[in-house]
Every structure is written in structure tokens, then in C-alpha cells.
Amino acid sequence: MILHTCSWRAYRPGLGQPVRTSLGKPRWLLPEAATWPVLWEATPRGHYFGAPAEVFEDCYLEQLETYGARRIARRLAAITRQTGAQTLLLACFEADPEQCHRSALAAWWLLAKGERITEIRQENES
């Protein structure tokens, strides 16, 4: 299984299986987006969503630790089996990965599992 992160705007068919890590669905990608799996364990929660950046990150990392790398890995493996995809795209709305939970997820995953998750950027980004 290969993992990438990306924004919904960077997503293109053929890059891999989109996996929602956002509370909402990208409406411009409906109806297909309604069928994509959701990784709730890595989806930020509403109670800290609007918090200052440091509070948000602390709460998000606490959430990831609560679920744990083993459980998240099992969930990703289940998504791989269910979809038949070998590449999963952990996606959300934020365009800038440095301002997004995707970067925190990737850094946490590298520490927890020793596996790098790379960001797929929009074609017009450098």
C-alpha cells in the first residue's frame, strides 16, 4: 500500500483511491465522492476545528494517539482490500499542506510507523 496526502483540488482520477479525511465531501466531485471511504480516525473533529493552530495540532495529535498507528494501519488495509487500490490518497479541503492536518498526520505516521507519506500537489504548484 502506498499512501499520499492531497487537497481535493489536487486530486485527479488515476492518482489513487481518494480517502476522505475531511468532515465534508467535495461537492464539485459528487456524486462519485459520496462513495469514497472515510478515515474517521484521521479526520479532525468539530470541537477543535476552529481552535488556534497550536491547540488544533495538540488535539489532533492526541486523537491520532488515541486511535493508534496499529488501528489506523488496519483501517487503511481494510480500505485497500475493499477498494482494490494499492495507492490511497488521504484528502481534505485545505490547499496548503503546511496549514493542514495532512502535514501533522504525515509527520506522526513517519514517527509511529517509519513510513513516509508524500503530498501530491496541484499541477500548477511548484
The radius of gyration computed from the CA coordinates of the chain, to the nearest angstrom, equals 14
Say how far apart CA 126 and CA 122 lie, in whole Å. Answer: 8
Which parts of the chain sit beneath pLDDT 70?
A: 123-126
40-66: pLDDT as tens digits: 999 998 888 888 989 999 999 999 999
74 is a domain residue:
yes
**10 occurs within a structural domain:** yes
Q: Which domain holds residue 91?
A: 2-120
Decide if 46 is inside a domain.
yes
Would you say residue 125 lies in a domain? no
126 assigned to some structural domain: no
Q: Are 46 and 23 in contact (CB under 8 A)?
A: yes
Q: What is the pLDDT of residue 50?
A: 83
Domain for residue 11, yes or no?
Answer: yes
Amino acid found at 123: E
pTM of the model: 0.91
Structural domain includes residue 58: yes
Structural domain count of the chain: 1
pLDDT given for residue 22 in this prediction: 93
